[in-house]
Amino acid sequence: MSLIFILLLIISLSLVARVMIRIIGQQKCLSDEEIRNYMLGRLHGDDDAYHRVIGHLGNCEKCQQRMHDYKPSDHIEDHLINDKNDA
Ligand SMILES: [Zn+2]
């Protein structure tokens, strides 16, 4: 009986820990690379990075503005990739 209780306690604590790690991770501002990957469509719904970007953008006006100001032509390597896709 007490073994089941301990197991349930461990499972719920690990779930709480995962949620807290995700929330703490979302509070940190996005890197230029994360913004670039998101804007270029390199992140997908099954990526943790995608959920972090979406979750953070919902809370942070600074990163919303950075996303808004992002220009792909600032990065030569992305420009080359875009040219290939257009051809
Ligand atoms: Zn931010």
Give 61-79 as a DSSP string.
HHHHHHHHH--GGGSHHHH
Interval 49-80: pLDDT, tens = 898 999 999 999 999 999 999 887 655 565 55
61: CA distance to ligand 1 center in Å?
7
The rounded Å distance from CA 57 to ligand 1 centre is: 7
Mean pLDDT, range 6-27, rounded to an integer? 92
What is the 12 CA–ligand 1 centroid distance (Å)? 30
How many CB atoms within 10 Å of residue 30?
Answer: 22
CA distance 11 to 84: 48
If you measure from the C-alpha of residue 86 to the centroid of ligand 1, how many angstroms do you get, rounded to a whole number? 32
Tell me, what amino acid is at 87?
A: A
Question: Over 90: is that where the pLDDT of 31 sits?
Answer: yes
- Ligand 1 centroid, distance to 82 Cα (angstroms): 26
pTM, to two decimals: 0.61
